[in-house]
Amino acid sequence: MTHEQLRRVDEAIASYAIVSDPPPKELQAVVEMAAYVARVPMATVNVITSHEQHQVAAVGFEASVCRREDSMCAISLSIGGQVVVPDASRDERYRDNPFVSGPLGGVRFYAAQPLLTPDGFAIGTLCIFDTEPRELDEDQKTALRTMADRIVDILELSRRTRALNDSLERMEEMRDELVRSNEHLAAFAGQVSHDLRNPLSTVAMSLYLLQEELDEEEVPAGASTVERALRGTKRMQALIEDLLAFARVGGSLRREDVHLAAEVPVILADLAGALRGADVTLGDLPTVCGDATQLRAVLQNLVANAAKFTRPGQPAEIAITGSRSGEGWRIEVADRGLGIEPSDAERVFEPLVRLDEGADGSGIGLATCRRVVQAHGGRIGLEPREGGGTVAWVWLPDA
């Protein structure tokens, strides 16, 4: 084998960690079965690197490590395919090998089946042998091939299980880091909102006092300027509250059964002003598992948007429905409003994005909805409604 081929074999062996770590215990059972089927006293799984032979499972003798150049199975791998030798002392390929001629053993009968990885690398052999000459029949040869394939299956399963465990550990670390990040974000947002509220409240109070003085003095131009400033402080206060709500999402959830059929009427009552004149229809709504307060906020935001973005001069038409979808529930809030361009359907979930600058709101609402839904393991999106309008949908998994 070339140096490059040996290097790639070493890499394949390393990926199974069969030399560096304790081998899978299932290998011992296969080796014992191989000795039993062939009616020989000794069998082993040999893993052959560029420099050494490692007997990682054995029956009938104590497993050990030897140099590659002393290995009978290294010779067999260079030959390729299954090798069966009735008497190695009479075979010119093996008779001078130290495992045959005496220094390391007195092998006579010898058979080896290569262990081929799915990528075609021969990483070792399933080897059976005896100190007495003997033969193998065709059934025993077939069984030897089958058991070698099963050894590779065991190694593949062990490798994939190890990779899966590593991935799970990384996911756990990422989850813990995300929890810490959310906690820091919530704490930071809380501190910032507190630091902003105090001076903003002072400004608002000063503006109210100034407005009263101007009203008493009847200065219309000044009162108009103060009124605009007061509206600006109110918008700023709303933005601070929205940012704080956005930052707090993603922490611990209080999971319980949430009966949407009971929650939605409460939401409609809270939005009575915004829904004045609207035509709202309710379909069947499921019971889902989640944080009632946060899910209620999501639906309230979606219904409020449906009421807000209507066609000029027309009342809102809103349909709120739920249906089974895979291993979860899909809840839809559909309107007959202006609709949304497909290119904007994803962008509106980014913080501070507002498609209509003239509309009320901070551009935080849908971003917060997405954080809430994702914290519940779900998905959220917007899509055109057949006949005009928009469908805002939320998918939530079963508990």
Segments forming the whole domain that contains residue 314: 253-397
More confident site: 372 or 329: 329
Tell me, yes or no, whether 133 and 183 share the same domain.
no
User: Which residue has tokens 């052999």?
Assistant: 125
| Distances from the Cα of 24 to the Cα of 14, 31, 61, 63, 123, angstroms | 14, 12, 19, 15, 16
Amino acid at 225: T
- Considering the domain architecture, whether residues 27 and 142 belong to the same structural domain is answered as yes
Q: Please report, as a single letter, which amino acid is at residue 133.
A: P
Whether residue 148 sits in one domain with residue 38: yes
241 part of a folded domain: no
247 domain-assigned: no
Residues 64 and 49 in one domain: yes
Q: Is the same domain home to 150 and 199? A: no
Q: Which CATH number do you get for residue 149?
A: 3.30.450.40
Output DSSP code: residue 276: T
Structure confidence at residue 224 (pLDDT):
67
Given a cut of 80, whether residue 95 has pLDDT beyond it is yes
Query: What integer best gives the mean pLDDT of the chain?
Result: 84
User: 340-346 long-range contacts, Cβ below 8 Å, gap at least 24?
Assistant: 340/382, 340/384, 340/390, 342/384, 345/381, 345/382, 345/383, 346/381
Residue 24 counted as domain residue: yes
How many CB atoms sit inside 10 A of residue 221's CB? 7
> Do 115 and 181 share a domain, yes or no?
no
Contacts of 351 by beta carbon, 8 Å cutoff, 6+ apart: 246, 363, 364, 367
What confidence tier does 20 reach under pLDDT thresholds 50, 70, 90?
Answer: confident
Q: 231-256: buried (b, 16+ CB within 10 Å) or exposed (e) per residue? A: eebeebbebbebbbbbbbbbeebeee
- 149 and 183, same structural domain? no
Question: In which residue are the tokens 């959310």 written?
Answer: 182
Of 272 and 111, more confident: 111
Q: Distance between CA atoms of 81 and 169, rounded to whole angstroms?
A: 40
**Weakest mean pLDDT among 186-190, 207-211, 280-284, 390-394:** 186-190
The count of domains in the chain is 3
* pLDDT tens string 228-283: 777 767 766 665 665 566 555 555 567 888 899 998 888 888 888 888 888 888 99
381 and 280 in a single domain? The answer is yes
Q: Please report whether residue 239 resides in a domain.
A: no
Tens digits of residue pLDDT in 159-201: 999 888 888 888 888 877 766 766 666 666 666 666 666 677 7
- Domain limit, last residue, from 234, 262, 285: 234
| Average pLDDT rounded to a whole number, residues 64-74 | 94
Predicted local confidence at residue 21, as pLDDT = 86
Among 66-70, 139-143, 268-272, name the one with the lowest average pLDDT: 268-272
- Residues in the chain, overall count: 399
Whether residue 382 is contained in a domain is answered as yes
Task: Identify the band that residue 27 occupies on the pLDDT scale cut at 50, 70 and 90.
Answer: very high
When mean pLDDT is compared across 174-178, 219-223, 272-276, 284-288, the lowest value belongs to 219-223
- pTM, two decimals, is 0.52
Say if 313 falls within a structural domain.
yes
In a domain, 244, yes or no: no
What percentage of the chain carries pLDDT values higher than 90? 41
Question: Do 10 and 150 have their domain in common?
Answer: yes
CA dist 66 → 16, 43, 125, 349 (Å): 20, 16, 15, 63
Shared-domain flag, residues 106 and 216 = no
As a whole number of angstroms, the distance between CA 168 and CA 368 comes to 28
- Say which CATH number the domain at 306 has: 3.30.565.10
Residue 351 maps to a domain:
yes
> In this structure, are 212 and 116 located in the same domain?
no
- The residue out of 135, 166, 197 marking a domain boundary is 166
Tokens 């690197």 identify what position? 49
In this structure, are 148 and 204 located in the same domain?
Answer: no
Whether the predicted pLDDT of 362 surpasses 50: no
Per-residue pLDDT band for 371 (boundaries 50, 70, 90) equals confident
Tens of pLDDT, residues 304-328: 888 887 877 788 889 999 999 889 9
